[in-house]
Structure 1
Amino acid sequence: ANIGKVLLKNSGDDLSVRAKAMAAAGSDARMNGCGLPVVINSGSGNQGITVSVPVIVYAKALKVSKEKLYRALALSNLAAIHQKTPIGRLSAYCGAVNAGAGAGAGIAYLCGGGYEEVIHTIVNALAIVSGIVCDGAKSSCAAKIASSIEAGILGYNMYMQGQQFFDGDGIVTKGVEATLRNVGRLGKEGMRETNEEIIRIMIGE
């Protein structure tokens, strides 16, 4: 679907657009037969692309040290894994959402953020895109990845401008861990019937 090219052509080549476009392009290539190896996160190559490529793009643009890049990548990967663990291996909840929030956390760290910036970035991102469903690995994953990274970056920018989602805003509740429990419940329990319905749709029932 050439999501990366579409983003760059229609939205310009600023840093946030380039971060989304590069990750989307990696997924686009992978979903359409590219045989190059890819790092994984939570058992998924697409999630591996999502937690790493945007962080690397930002790190290069900001000219940070290799150590800071590696720390940002560790944070991004671990944040995504922490979100995904309660959901489990299979769910109709799109794993790119967790990975995009993880990328937002890594980018927040690269931009000078600490613990508060990171946790609010994640909560904000999850409040925005937690409704995306997984309907298998295919071309539209690239667009879902771009949307999830956009939410991660927006989540960070919101907090830096004094804006955030609060307890009672949908699935958001007080405290990052409590919100992550809600997301885990949504992905594991709430999406169970959705997963079965998606399978029926895909096989033409």
Structure 2
Amino acid sequence: MARTTVARRPNAGTKGVPRADREEQIVLAATAVFGSQGFAATSVADVAERAGISKPLIYNYFGSKEGLFTACLHRAGAMLAEEMERIARGDAVGLERALRTLEGIFTLLEPQPWIWRLFFDPTIPRGEERIAAEIAHYTDRITALADEGVREMMRLAGADDPLDVSALTSAWLSVADSLVSWWLDHPEETPASMTARCLRLFHVVLGAPLPSALTAD
């Protein structure tokens, strides 16, 4: 379970540390704790202990547990979206872009798998305005990238039905989430081996012949 081991930083957050550095230190620690234990099971004291600082310092910087969680979502969402955008700017198209995206996510998450779980934690107080806004922002940003990739793949196949694009985008987002979640439950898989597994799975699914009843027309 090497991927989920979090090193503690004793004596961090001492006097003289620049505010920006101290905030980053707290967010890094909080992301690991929230992502591993869940929002409801995590206390500010847990984060303070992991970061090696005092509880009042966290409240001074972030105002509340919810404010701290919002900062964690912002960092995690930006990292995921920026990695996907980096791949989108490259030359890969169609299925290759899909695989490169998954490979990028696996590589990004390997040293910090907990950041993926932040967005799917069932104990998140989604009625809290800041948290809901942060989740919505990055969900929209990532969905737009998925829609762009699917439209590109559909055009390559000579298809452009808007409802087909919508349906396939929804399916792709679910497939990607399922594959990443499965991988997080199998820490023996490296990013390279998981990418190879995805390629095999896609080959099986996409290479399978359609049932005769569907090809008759």
TM > 0.5 between the two? no
Structure number with bigger Rg: 2
Task: Give TM-score, length-normalised by structure 1.
Answer: 0.29
